[in-house]
Structure 1
Amino acid sequence: MPINAHPEYLAAEKEYRLTEGVENKIKALEKMISLMPKHKGAENLRAQLRTRLKKLKEQAEKTKKTKKSSGKRGIKKEEMQVVIVGLTNSGKSTLLSALTNTNPEISHYEFATKNPIVGMMPYSGIQIQIVEIPAIESEYYDKGIVHTSDLVLMLVNELAQVKNIEEKISDFSKNKIIVFNAMGNLTENEKRKISANLQSKKYNFVILSAKKPEEKVLQELKDKIFQNLGKIRVFTKQPGKEKSEKPVVLNKSSTIKDIAEKILHGFSHQIKETRIWGPSSKFHGQVVGLRHKLMDLDVVEFKTR
Structure 2
Amino acid sequence: MTVNAHPEYLSAEKEYYKAENDEDRLLALEKMISVLPAHKGAERLRAQVKLRYKKLKEKIENEKKSKKSIKKESIKKEELQAVIIGKTHSGKSSFINLVTNNFTEVGDYEFVTRSPVVGMMKYEDVDIQLIEIPAINSRYYDRGLVNNADVLLIFIERLEDIEEINKLIEKAPGEKIFVFTKSDKLNENEKRKISANLSTKKYNFVIISSYTNEGIEELKKKMFQSFKKIRIYTKQPEDKERSLKPMILKPEISVKDVAEKIFKGFSKKIKETRIWGPSSDYPGQVVGLNHKLKDLDTVEFKTK
What's the TM-score once normalised by structure 2's chain length? 0.74
1:153 Cα deviation after fit: 0.4
Tell me the SS of whatever aligns to 2:217: helix
Partner of 1:194: 194
* 1:254/1:294 contact within 8 Å kept: yes
- Code of the residue aligned with 1:146 in structure 2: it is V
What's the TM-score once normalised by structure 1's chain length? 0.73
1:211 Cα deviation after fit: 3.2
Deviation readout 1:155-209 (Å, 9 max, x if unpaired) = 0000011111111110122311110012662110000000000011111111111
* Pairing 1:78-227 to 2, within 5 Å after superposition: 78-182=78-182, 185-214=185-214, 217-227=215-225
Q: Identity over aligned residues, as a percent? A: 54
Tell me the SS of whatever aligns to 2:153: strand
Tell me the SS of whatever aligns to 2:185: coil
Residue 232 in structure 1 maps to residue 230 in structure 2: yes
Tell me the SS of whatever aligns to 1:262: helix
Deviation readout 1:61-103 (Å, 9 max, x if unpaired) = xxxxxxxxx7313210000000001011211111111222211
Residue 74 in structure 1 maps to residue 74 in structure 2: yes
Tell me the SS of whatever aligns to 2:74: coil
Deviation readout 1:211-255 (Å, 9 max, x if unpaired) = 3323xx211111111111111111110113121111111112222
* 1:235/1:246 contact within 8 Å kept: yes
Mapped to 1, the partners of 2:253 and 2:138 lie a distance apart of 40
Partner of 1:46: none
- Code of the residue aligned with 1:247 in structure 2: it is P
Tell me the SS of whatever aligns to 1:194: helix
* 1:71/1:114 contact within 8 Å kept: no
- The RMSD of aligned alpha carbons is 1.5
* 2:100/2:119 contact within 8 Å kept: yes
Tell me the SS of whatever aligns to 1:131: strand
> For the pair shown, which has the larger CA radius of gyration, 1 or 2?
1
- Code of the residue aligned with 1:283 in structure 2: it is Y
Mapped to 1, the partners of 2:178 and 2:250 lie a distance apart of 23
* 1:156/1:162 contact within 8 Å kept: yes
After superposing the two structures, state which structure 1 stretch, 262-271 or 75-84, moved more: 262-271
- Code of the residue aligned with 1:222 in structure 2: it is K
Q: Paired residues, what number?
A: 234
- Code of the residue aligned with 1:301 in structure 2: it is E
Deviation readout 1:16-47 (Å, 9 max, x if unpaired) = xxxxxxxxxxxxxxxxxxxxxxxxxxxxxxxx
Mapped to 2, the partners of 1:162 and 1:113 lie a distance apart of 21
Partner of 2:7: none
Mapped to 2, the partners of 1:221 and 1:162 lie a distance apart of 18
* 2:148/2:174 contact within 8 Å kept: no
Distance 1:183 1:279, change over 3 A: closer
- Code of the residue aligned with 1:78 in structure 2: it is E
- Structure 1: stretches of 5+ with no match in the other structure: 1-69
